[in-house]
Each structure stands twice: as C-alpha cells, then as structure tokens.
Structure 1
C-alpha cells in the first residue's frame, strides 16, 4: 500500500511516498498502519485526545475519503496534514534522529 504525504509529514517519513506492508479494509486501517510505522506523524494527524484533526484530509486514488471508506488493494492513499492557523502550535514532525519540536514524542 503506497501512502503519499504532504507538508510537515515528510519530516516524519523522510520521503514523499512510502510503502506500508499492510492489507487494510478501510482508510482508518491505513492511517493506523501509517502512524504505527511513523509515530512522529501522530501529532500532525491527531489531537492529544486521539481524534483526527479537523483539517486533516485523506484521499484514495485522488478522491476525498473518510475513515469509514473502503480502501481497495493497490490504492494510493494521500495524507494532507493539519495546517497551522496560528491559534495553537502543532509540533513539527521530524525525521528519526533529527532534533526538533516534537522531542517529547520520541518515546511514544
């Protein structure tokens, strides 16, 4: 399963597109597998309470998708992270070993 990421999520993955070894049924399962593979991306996608950030957008093969939507085998999923609005700062995702804003998440 290929996942293409945009914006600050690239700091967590180190690449624009990553391949996950998973066979998901839903978009939610893809995002769960992505966060397990790249835990530094979690603050960009989810609130501290574990809810998906309202401004996060997910597409499957170019069409907007919700977490409950099915995800066909071989689909390309794209993740567009939350955009900072100036109200509350979201930690910047950093690549493994990189010093950065989200060091408090490095053991999570």
Structure 2
C-alpha cells in the first residue's frame, strides 16, 4: 500500500510516497492500522501525527480515496491514502 505524505512528514519519512507492507496489516486494516505501520516504519513521523498521550492530533487529516477518513474506517490494500500532518504557524 502506498501512502502519500505532505508537509513536514516528507522530511520525517524521506519521501513523498511511503510504501506500507500490506502483509504487516491485519486482514481488514483500518486507517489506524495504516498510521501505526507508518509510525513504526518511520518513528520521526509520530511526533507530527500524535500528541504526547498517543492520540491523533486534532489537525491531522487522512483521506482514503477522495473522502476524509476516521481512524476506525476500513482501508483497503489498494486504497489511495493521503496523510496531512498537523500544521503550525499563522
């Protein structure tokens, strides 16, 4: 599964597109599973996505296809996933 990342996540992952091995995901993966795999493969990305308590930052947006996705939404292995991290500034 390919996941497109934006903003500061690119420096944390080293590329615009991150490949997640679908064999490491459960049988019916969720968006949460994909983000967990992303953070496991690229630990520096975690601070861009999660608060100190491990919760997803409120400003992080994930889309599956063209639709905004929640953490518990199904994420098919062939899905077009995009992750927009928390942005800071004014």
Does the alignment pair 1:68 with 2:72?
A: yes
Give ranges in structure 2 of 5+ residues lacking alignment.
Answer: none
Decide which structure has the larger Cα Rg and report it.
1
Give ranges in structure 1 of 5+ residues lacking alignment.
Answer: 87-108
Superposed, 1:5-24 pairs within 5 Å as 5-23=5-23, 24=25
Query: 1:12 aligns to what SS in structure 2?
Result: helix
Q: CA RMSD in A?
A: 1.2
Distance 1:76 1:37 in 2: 19
When the two structures are aligned, how many residues end up with a matched partner? 86
* CA deviation string 1:68-95 (max 9, x = no partner): 1001121121110001146xxxxxxxxx
Q: TM-score, normalised by structure 1?
A: 0.75
4+ residue segments displaced more than 4 Å: none
Distance 2:83 2:77 in 1: 17
